[in-house]
Structure 1
Amino acid sequence: MSQPIARPTVEAPAGAVPPAEGLPGLAVFDFDGTLVRGDSLLPFLARVAGGETLRRHLARSAAGAASRRLPGRAALVKGGHPADADDDFRTAFKRRLLRRCLAGVPLARAQAAAADMAAWVRWNTPLRDTLLRHADQGHRVLVATGALTLYMPTLLADLPVHDLLGTEMAVGDDGLLTGEMVAGNCVRAEKARRLALWMRETGPYGRRWGYGNQPSDLPFLALMDEATVVPTAH
């Protein structure tokens, strides 16, 4: 049963906590604003589309997301992209931005931009150290993030991360990105839903630790035995 979410802190567990009944422990980390300072999506899209193009797409995507519920728009939105009708503003904005920036982009070009993202990373050192300590104690380490799986494996390559849940982008048979999210936006309640399913499929686990920021990560932190709310790292 989940315990109350801890007060904001970045302190790691003081010592090893034996997994319940011999089962392995699990440590789940958010990425943007938790393991790293800032948000990774816009730096990645700038590397793919270019800074000036990204700025234009940002403005148009925000306008489109804001107008999706206006009278006369519902049928058009639902007819063109059914998922849009149920999006909250942030997901509607992200969906439009990804379409504008990534549709028609060769996968190889996106992978080159992902490799260049290594220069962007600014680790939140206390949380990175916490992750390393969990791995040293033999816990399974999962990163659950709304960031794109296009570039996340590159950014996590030097860390002992066993599994990744993220936002996946569709690739056509021609090797071009479609600009569409494969299974939606891996954030908030959707992240918690995917995590719960992943734990059922890969578990059972002993003690479960979670690290994320508020309010967006509170749904998945509620699934943990010990939840640490991290002040968002900028």
Structure 2
Amino acid sequence: MAQEFTTALSPSETAAEDPNGADLPVVAFDFDGTLTVRDSFTAFLRWRAGPARYALGLARLVPALIAYVFHRDRGRIKAQAVGEFLKGVPHDRLEADARRFAETHARKLLRPDAVAAWKRWRTQRVRLVIVTASPEMTVGPFGRGLGADAVLGTQLSFDADNRVLGAFSGPNCRGPEKIVRLKEVFGPEMRLKAAYGDTSGDREMLAMAEIPGYRVFKGRP
């Protein structure tokens, strides 16, 4: 199945290897709603938990969902979902589950026109990056399948036994944090050649890009 996923996305076509890669401009894609048709983390949690456990978890999260109406903190509600559905899961197990989810759901989630744009950019001398508010660990396998040069996302926190704590180890990778993460990895003078996003959480990234693409992808699998 992993081979089928890789072949379908053809990352081998691109491999932008360049001895001067540090000087290449960056093209950044948001993930959920931009490269995908819906929120991938919610889909992952539902898939991993199964119908009954997922319904129970949502019921337990009702107070948190009500509180969200007032505080509007996406990172907070997401962390609470991590605590409900993933707390205590070993790192290796979560990594394997994320890989299997990507292998079985890539064709159902990825927008064909977004993937086509990704492949067009890959023929140019740029670094292709996914920048997402979803956990970096769950989006990483999709990025590897696409041949991304980097996947920057919200980072989960693990305890001394390498089990999910039910919290994040840093800020929610949304809004200004996307720029922070890009500059951490590619330097303060990085050139953002193009960026694609679909929500207000991508505003800063789009404003920085020479070519901003807001909700330009409409395709469905």
Q: Please indicate, yes or no, whether the TM-score normalized by the shorter chain is above 0.5.
A: yes
**Are 1:187 and 2:169 matched, yes or no?**
no
* 8 Å contact kept, 1:169–1:182: yes
Higher relative contact order (CA 8 A, sep 6+): 1
User: Percent same amino acid among aligned pairs?
Assistant: 24
Amino acid in the other structure paired with 2:98:
A
Amino acid in the other structure paired with 2:90:
P
Cα distance change, pair 62–93 in 1 and its aligned pair in 2 (3 A):
farther
How many Å apart are 1:195 and its aligned residue? 2.9
Tell me, what secondary structure is at the counterpart of 1:33?
helix
**Are 1:137 and 2:119 matched, yes or no?**
no
**Matches of residues 40-189 of structure 1 in structure 2 within 5 Å?**
40-67=40-67, 88-117=72-101, 118-121=103-106, 122-189=109-176
Aligned equivalents of 1:30 and 1:221: distance in 2? 10
Cα distance change, pair 59–212 in 1 and its aligned pair in 2 (3 A):
same
- TM-score normalised per structure 2: 0.77
What residue number does 2:37 align with? 37
Aligned equivalents of 1:90 and 1:167: distance in 2? 12
How many Å apart are 1:181 and its aligned residue? 0.8
Aligned equivalents of 1:192 and 1:232: distance in 2? 22
Aligned equivalents of 1:69 and 1:37: distance in 2? 24
- TM-score normalised per structure 1: 0.73
Q: Over alpha carbons, which structure has the higher Rg?
A: 1
Count of aligned pairs: 194
Measured against aligned partners, the alpha-carbon deviations of 1:22-76 in whole angstroms (never above 9, x if no partner) come to x522211001111121111122112433332222222332422533799xxxxxx
**Matches of residues 201-216 of structure 1 in structure 2 within 5 Å?**
201=188, 203-205=189-191, 208-216=193-201
Aligned equivalents of 1:68 and 1:142: distance in 2? 30
How many Å apart are 1:165 and its aligned residue? 0.8
Give the gaps of 5 or more residues in structure 1: 1-22, 71-86
- Runs of 4+ deviating beyond 4 Å: 231-234
Cα distance change, pair 217–69 in 1 and its aligned pair in 2 (3 A):
closer
Tell me, what secondary structure is at the counterpart of 2:34?
coil
Aligned equivalents of 1:175 and 1:141: distance in 2? 30
Tell me, what secondary structure is at the counterpart of 2:170?
coil
RMSD value, Cα? 2.4
* 8 Å contact kept, 2:113–2:217: no
Cα distance change, pair 57–188 in 1 and its aligned pair in 2 (3 A):
farther
Amino acid in the other structure paired with 1:123:
L
